[in-house]
Amino acid sequence: MGIFLRAVRLLSMVVWVGGLIFFAFVEAPTAFHVMGTTGPFAQLIGESIRNLNRIGHLCGFAFLIATAAIAAKAEPLPRKLLGSQVILVVLMIVATMVVQAHIVPAMERDRAAAGGDINAIPTDNPTRVDFDRLHGLSEKGEGSALIMGVAVVILMAAERPTPTSGQTV
């Protein structure tokens, strides 16, 4: 059972952090290069971030459940390390929920007010200024989730292996 729980934890972080990296460094730049800032570009990015956050939340909850099961049997020192990971994953979930529930809808309202292409209006237009501010917040929220995810992976790498019967570590 221990191997299964550790695998769930590892896979959940691989999927979530890998998805964030793929989105930030592959999908978004490629979509921008191919599509520009068109309406379809905005739809693609909006749906992608929505789905990525959904997957991230599922991965986060799976991580938390598996970690709680492992922590229940852990010694005090490893339990502290697991607790740090739990805090980071909860913060990742919160960051992406804030982006998804508050920032993205406000950006969509600004985009709609701009006629679908935010870059079609001047940079000093109040709608554009608000959109750019919100976009920066969105990047910070998703970026902070990525950084915290990498920190979780590092903390997982710092975990001591659990000895099997008759084995010392």
Cβ partners under 8 Å of residue 27, min gap 6: 45, 48
Is residue 113 within 8 A of residue 127, CB to CB? The reply is yes
3-state SS assignment for residue 136:
helix
Least confident of 8-12, 52-56, 71-75, 142-146: 71-75
Is residue 118 within 8 A of residue 111, CB to CB? The reply is yes
Asked if the model's pLDDT at residue 97 lies above 80, the reply is: yes
Residue 161 confidence (pLDDT): 67
Q: Where are the domains of the chain?
A: 2-157
Least confident of 21-30, 74-83, 105-114, 156-165: 156-165
Asked if the model's pLDDT at residue 166 lies above 50, the reply is: no
Cβ partners under 8 Å of residue 60, min gap 6: 12, 16, 89, 90, 92, 93
Alpha-carbon distance 153 to 49, whole Å?
22
Convert the pLDDT of each residue in 104-128 to its tens digit: 999 999 999 998 888 889 999 999 9
Two tokens, residue 53 = 């956050």
Alpha-carbon distance 147 to 108, whole Å?
26
Arch. (CATH architecture) of 2-157: Up-down Bundle (1.20)
DSSP 82-126: HHHHHHHHHHHHHHHHHIIIIIHHHHHHHHHHTTT-GGGS-TTSH
